[in-house]
Structure 1
Amino acid sequence: MEKVKSCGVICFTKTKKPSFLLMKRSYRYDLPKGHIEPGETELQCALRELFEETGITRKQVCLELDFRFRTIYYPRYRRFGGEKVEKSLVIFFGWVSEELEIVMTEHSSSEWVKWNPPHYFHNRIIDELLETVERKLMLER
């Protein structure tokens, strides 16, 4: 079975009423993330993909390097003839000062969602990630 790895960043606003960024494809929510390139670290990949898909620069995001969400799932990939692959996903956590304007490149739109847990997007990965973020934020209080 082929193995692929993607990395990304979930961005939260550091405001009185925080919100977080989700990307939208025509039929589902997604995160700013993408495939790791040869020689790239997970963090380098996550920051590159964040910039490529949103326009948010490394200088605009403050990462909490103690947060690293990882999951594995088994989607079918057109690149591999529709075969199932083992996909490893790593998501880092970052703060931005406010709801930044997003430069759309690969998604149909984006949305800054107000943080008001629990959140359910009927997307296993996003829902699990947000539950993990909620635990992290509760520990910091």
Structure 2
Amino acid sequence: MKTPRSCGFLIVKGDPIHSFLLMKHPNRWDLPKGHVDPGETDLECALRELEEETGIGADDIEIMNDFLFENRYVVSGKRYDLGEGSVEKTLRIFMGRLLRDVDLLLTEHDSYHWFPWQPPHNVQEKTINPLLASVEDYLQNR
């Protein structure tokens, strides 16, 4: 059975990190991310979505190759043309450090915000908070 999978990026500034980027939907904050196209790797998807939704290209970031966040949660099958009931969705998030200032070009979001890196974070319970906690663990253990 087909299972929905989304990939995206957490974009951070600074070393050590001093801020991170979130995109504003009408009712919530989110990451630049989207669904994997047929034949596309997770990283290719994440890079494509990042550029489509923000204008940030692969040459604008340093990918933190030793970090990958994965989360699984239940969504409506109807949303993905998978029929009635619930299905498990996989979310994979890469992390990239912005190498230079970039004028963001928003195509799918109302606005954006650079949030200060001040853990613990309380932004969005299902995906953002666990991601940021995972980043904090990564930073403490590298």
How does the TM-score come out when normalised to structure 1?
A: 0.90
Q: Equivalent pairs: percent with the same residue? A: 44
Residues 9 and 50, structure 1, Cα contact 8 Å, conserved in 2:
yes
**CA-CA distance at 1:122 after TM superposition:** 3.4
1:120 equivalent in alignment to 2:83: no
1:108 partnered with 2:113: no
Matched residues in 1 for 2:17 and 2:38: separation?
39
Distance in 1 (alpha carbons) for counterparts of 2:17 and 2:129: 20
Structure 2: gaps spanning 5 or more residues: none
* Structure 1, unpaired ranges of 5+: none
Offset of 1:117 from its aligned partner?
0.7
Question: What amino acid sits opposite 2:96 in the alignment?
Answer: G
Rounded to whole Å, the distance in 1 between the matches of 2:100 and 2:85 is 41
RMSD of aligned Cα (Å):
1.9
- The 3-state SS of whatever aligns with 2:95 is strand
Residue equivalent to 1:50: 50
- SS state at 1:39 partner: coil
Q: Show structure 1 runs of 4+ deviating over 6 A.
A: none
Question: Which residue does the alignment assign to 1:86?
Answer: 88
Alignment: residue pair count: 140
- What is residue 61 of structure 1 aligned with on the other side? 61
The aligned counterpart of 1:70 is 70
Report the TM-score when normalising by structure 2. 0.89
Query: Is structure 2 residue 137 aligned with structure 1 residue 138?
Result: no
Give distance in 1, aligned partners of 2:79 and 2:125. Answer: 20
1:51 to partner: Cα distance:
0.4
